Amino acid sequence: MKTNYILYNPKAGNGRGREAAQKLTALFNESSTQFIDITTIRDYTELFASLSPDDSIILCGGDGTINHFVNDTEGIPLPQNILYYATGTGNDFLHDLGINGEKPVPIRDYIKDLPSVTVNDKTIHFINGIGYGIDGYCCEVGDAMRGSTDKPINYTSIAIKGLLFHFKPVNATVTVDGNQKKYSKVWLAPTMNGRFYGGGMMPTPAQDRTHNNTVSTLIMYGSGKLKTLMVFPSIFKGEHVKHKEMVEVLTGKDVTVEFDRPTALQIDGETVLNVSKYNVRAAGA
C-alpha cells in the first residue's frame, strides 16, 4: 500500500509546523500516512531506500525547510515523488511559482540544478536568494525579536526603522562574470534564483528560476535615507527598477559581492552574521 511520508518542520510557521502539517490528514487516508519530524532525520539515504516506488515524500515547512532539505540530501538520489506543502510564514517559493499552496505540489524539478553560494568558506545551495544589506539586517533583528516573543515578526516595519535610524549603507564591489563595478552607499545587494524573497519583495522581477543557468543581482545604491525610504515600498511590485539612478540589476553566472565592512546576510531566510563577501555560482557554472 502506498505510504505518504510527511516530513514536517516543527519550527516552521512560528513554531506551529506540526499543527499545520496535520491538516494533510484531511487529504490522505490516515492508515497510509506517516509523520516524521524532519529535525530528527539523520540518514536520508536510509529513509529513501525504505520507500517503494509509489510512496511519496511530502515536505512541510517554509522556504528555509526546503533549503535544508536540498542541502541535507546533496548527492543522494531523490525519490520520484517529492511534494511540498507550505507551512511557513513567507512562502516566497510558492509565490514565485504562482501557486496558492492549498494542496501539496510536486517540486522535484525545482530542487535540482540549483545555484550555490559560498560564505565564510562554506558552500551551500539556495532556493530563492541571498539577501545582503538592509534585508540581512532585517533577518538579524527578526531573529533577536523571535527569541523574546511568539508574535509574528513584521519585517517591513524592521526595514523602515532600519532605513531611517539603524542600518548604515556600505560601499560595495560587485563582480559579475569577471566584470567589476564599485558602488557607494549600498542599501541592498541580493543575488536571486527566483523573483521573490523576504515575504513578497521582488528585487529582480525579470529573474526566472526555470532557466537557472544565470542569477540576477540587485544593487540599490547612492541615495539618502528619505529617497531610499520613498522608493523602497515599490520593491513589493518590482517597480523599483524604474529608478535607474539608484537601482541596477546585473545578470550572470558568477557573482561576487564584497562590502567594505561586515554585515548580516540571509540565505533563504536563514541569517549569517559578520559577512564581508559572498560568491554565487549559477547551476552548471
Give me the pLDDT at residue 30, please. Answer: 67
Ordered by start, the domain boundaries in the chain are: 4-110, 116-281
Q: Which fold has domain 4-110?
A: Rossmann fold (3.40.50)
Give me the pLDDT at residue 212, please. Answer: 67
For 165-180, the pLDDT digits (tens) are 788 899 999 999 999 9
**Total-model pTM:** 0.92
Query: Which residue in 101, 124, 103 sits closest to 114, CA to CA?
Result: 124
DSSP 88-100: SS--HHHHHHT--
**Fold match between 4-110 and 116-281?**
no
Look at 134-143, 185-194, 222-231 and tell me which has the smallest mean pLDDT: 134-143
Q: Which fold has domain 116-281?
A: Tumour Suppressor Smad4 (2.60.200)
**Burial of 152 by CB count in 10 Å (0-12 exposed, 13-18 middle, 19+ buried)?**
exposed
For 204-258, the pLDDT digits (tens) are 999 999 876 999 999 999 999 999 989 999 999 999 999 999 999 999 999 999 9
Instruction: Tell me what the pLDDT averaged over the chain comes to.
Output: 90
Query: Which residue in 140, 122, 123, 143 sits closest to 131, CA to CA?
Result: 140
